[in-house]
């Protein structure tokens, strides 16, 4: 059985999804791919222990603490390549960012390949079903652009600033997938 629950946050209402033991989704209201991995027939489970733990994690995060994603049982749905990219995202520390190109090189290395497409990585990052917890907001363009966030650039900027990232070294693209 898959359940969903809601959570208020400084970046708007969030929706959690999961079974009784794992978080499999976290979306911001209005984001691209909202609820994309949430199957039909999911039922409300506001008071499930896994959602209470996720809410506490989020409360700590938004209070400026640095809880580890590994503190929660995460189970994002996706193929092997996406799982690998999401694992790499989990390794980007608070207050730091990584470029799509770096993630592509790291994924290629772990897969034993000579190279990997940054666009393929962008697709995996963009379809991350567990926003904030799997920190796709920490991914930037290699040229310093704040691009590619399904939750919107305003929320990406807020999250990065909240984590202490100096945003003066980045710019907002005039066109692109993030707009």
130 — phi, psi (to 5°)?
-125, 70
Close Cβ partners of 101 (under 8 Å, ≥ 6 residues apart) = 118, 142
Q: Is the pLDDT of residue 178 over 50?
A: no
For residues 64 and 96, what is the distance between their CA atoms, to the nearest angstrom?
Answer: 15
How far is it, in rounded angstroms, from Cα 144 to Cα 174? 13
Query: Which residue numbers are catalytic?
Result: 136
pLDDT tens digits, residue range 91-143?
999 999 999 999 999 999 999 999 999 999 999 999 999 999 999 999 999 99
């Amino acid at each position: 059985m898959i359940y969903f629950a809601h959570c208020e946050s400084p970046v708007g209402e969030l929706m959690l999804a999961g079974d009784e033991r794992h978080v499999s989704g976290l979306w911001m209201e209005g984001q691209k791919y909202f609820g994309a991995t949430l199957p039909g027939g999911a039922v409300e489970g506001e008071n499930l222990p896994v959602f209470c733990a996720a809410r506490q994690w989020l409360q700590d995060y938004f209070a400026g603490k640095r809880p580890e994603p590994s503190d929660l049982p995460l189970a994002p749905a996706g193929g092997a390549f996406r799982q690998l990219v999401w694992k790499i995202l989990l390794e980007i520390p608070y207050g730091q960012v990584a470029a799509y190109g770096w993630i592509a090189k790291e994924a290629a290395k772990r897969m034993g390949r000579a190279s990997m497409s940054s666009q393929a990585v962008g697709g995996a990052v963009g379809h991350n079903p567990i926003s904030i917890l799997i920190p796709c907001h920490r991914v930037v363009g290699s040229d310093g652009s704040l691009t590619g966030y399904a939750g919107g650039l305003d929320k990406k900027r807020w999250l990065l600033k909240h984590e202490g990232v100096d945003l003066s070294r980045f710019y907002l693209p005039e066109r692109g997938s993030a707009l």
